[in-house]
Structure 1
C-alpha cells in the first residue's frame, strides 16, 4: 500500500512541477521533496528522471482500449438514437471520451513534445485515437457518411484538435472553446 501511495505522490508532485516550470527546470530532489519521499525512493520507482516523465505521459493521458470501447459503444448507441445528428454525435463523444489528461498534463504534453520523442509519440497517439472516434461518430450519425472520406477526416481532425488543444488555447488567451459549438459548426459544414 505504501509503495503505491508513494509512487502516486511522486507522480502528483512531478505533474505539478513539470506543468509549472517544465521538465528540464525541475530537479528530482524537488520532486521527492514535494512528494514527501526520500530521493532514493523516487529512483526506486523511476531509475532515471525521464522515466518519471514517461510514466506521467503514459499513465495520465491514457485512453485505454476498454475506455475506447466504452466510448465507441456509447457513441454508437447515441448515433443510432439520432441518425442525421452529427453535431449531437460529436457532442456526446466529447462528453464520453475518457481523455484522462488534466489541464496540467496537457500543458506538459505540449511543452515537452518538442524535446522528448516519447511525449511527442504519445500526443500523436492521443490525437489519432480521438480522430478515429470522431470519424466513427460522424459516419454513424451520417448513416455511412454522406460526405467524402477526406471531408470526414478533416472534420474529425478539427474536432480532435479542439478536444486536445482547448486547454492550451484557454491558458494562452483566456478564451474557452465550447466543443458543442464546434460540433454544430462541423455538422453544418458537412451538410
Structure 2
C-alpha cells in the first residue's frame, strides 16, 4: 500500500515537472520570437532561428505553433492584453495622476519590443492590425473614463476629454516608434501632466 502511494506521488511530481518543462519551452519560444520579430521583423525570421534562440528542437516550435504565423498571433494575443481591472483607478481632481496610474497598468509600457512588432506587422497581417485597433480603442476608453472620474465638472466636457484620451492612447502606443525616430524617450507621466494642464 505504501509503495502504491509512493508511486502515485512520484508520478504526480513527474507530471508536474513535465507540465512545467512544457510551459517553459513554450515561453522560451515566444520570448525568442518576440526578440527576433522586434529586431528583424516577422518575414525575415526563420523558424529555425526561433528554435535556436529558444534552445529547443525546431519540431517543438511546430508542435506548439503549427505555422509560423501562429507564433506571431500567440505573441500578439498573449502579450498585448490590457490587464483586467475591476475599476479604473482615478484620483478625483487629478487628471495627471489618473492617467499615470492607467499607463502603469498597461503591459505595452513595459514592452518596447511588442510595440515595435505591433506597428511593423500591422501593415501586412490583418490579425495584428485588428489587435492594434482593439488595443487602441480599449486604451482610449479607459483613458476617457479615468478623465471623466477625475474631472467630473463642466471643465471636462466630452469633446475635450475624447481628444485628451485619444492623445494619451497615441503616446502610449507610439512612444517606442517616436523614440526610434527622434532618439528621445517620451515619458507618459510628462504627457499626462501636459494633458491635465491643457484640460485646466
Common fold, TM-score beyond 0.5?
A: yes
Shift of residue 146 of structure 1? 3.2
Q: Residues 177-188 of structure 1: matches in 2 within 5 Å?
A: 177-188=186-197
**Structure 1: gaps of 5 or more residues:** none
C-alpha change, 1:145 and 1:15, in structure 2 (3 Å) is: farther
SS at match of 1:5: helix
CA distance in 2, matches of 1:151, 1:112: 32
1:26 is matched with which residue: 45, 55, 60? 45
Shift of residue 92 of structure 1? 2.2
C-alpha change, 1:31 and 1:139, in structure 2 (3 Å) is: same
1:68 maps to: 84
CA distance in 2, matches of 1:107, 1:24: 14
Is 1:129 equivalent to 2:133 in the alignment?
no
Contact kept, 8 Å, 1:166 with 1:176, in 2: the verdict is: yes
2:129 maps to: 120
CA distance in 2, matches of 1:19, 1:186: 30
**Structure 2: gaps of 5 or more residues:** 1-19
Shift of residue 144 of structure 1? 5.6
Q: Rg: which structure is higher?
A: 2
1:110 maps to: 119
**Greater than 2 Å deviation, 4+ residue runs:** 98-101, 144-148
2:106 is matched with which residue: 95, 98, 105? 98
1:14 maps to: 33
